[in-house]
Structure 1
């Protein structure tokens, strides 16, 4: 679910002091996109939103969530946005977020 090696790499790259700020920014941005997608999804924005979520989540080690976003992005790009299981993507994020926060955020 979480690529803990990537989390450690990011902490080393930005430094322990700035890591928390990066985490908070990531969580805020992703939470905002997820909420928008839950309440105002549009076929035209699904590909763009999933692309953003995929890239952001990879940077912070949310591997399983990122994979689901990548698959959804491909489907949307191929004109199959309605086939994307957003509920599964939202659930994967919620589970990843809970696991991550429990271990990383004091």
Structure 2
């Protein structure tokens, strides 16, 4: 679910002091997009939103969530937006977020 090696790499790259700031910013931005998609998914922006979520989550090691976002991004790009399982994406994010916070901020 979480690529902990990537998390360690990011912590080394930005430093322990700035790591929490980077995490907070990531979670804030991703939470905002997730909440918007839950409230009012915009099919015209779906590919762009999933691309953003994929890239952001990959940077922080959210491997499973990123993979689902990538599959959704491809589906949206090829006109198969109706095949995207947004609830599965939301669930993967919630589980990844919880696991990450539990371990990375302990």
TM-score by length of 2: 0.99
Structure 1 residue aligned with 2:88: 88
Deviation at 1:51?
0.1
Structure 1 residue aligned with 2:60: 60
1:78 aligns with 2:75: no
Deviation at 1:42?
1.3
Deviation at 1:82?
1.2
SS at structure 1 position matched to 2:2: coil
SS at structure 1 position matched to 2:45: helix
Q: Distance in 1 between matches of 2:94 and 2:105?
A: 15
Deviation at 1:64?
0.2
Q: Distance in 1 between matches of 2:81 and 2:39?
A: 16
**Structure 1 segments of 4+ aligned residues over 6 angstroms from their partners:** none
Structure 2 residue aligned with 1:102: 102
Structure 1, unmatched stretches of 5+, are: none
Q: Distance in 2 between matches of 1:72 and 1:10?
A: 25
SS at structure 2 position matched to 1:44: coil
Deviation at 1:67?
0.2
Q: Distance in 2 between matches of 1:42 and 1:18?
A: 34
SS at structure 2 position matched to 1:43: coil
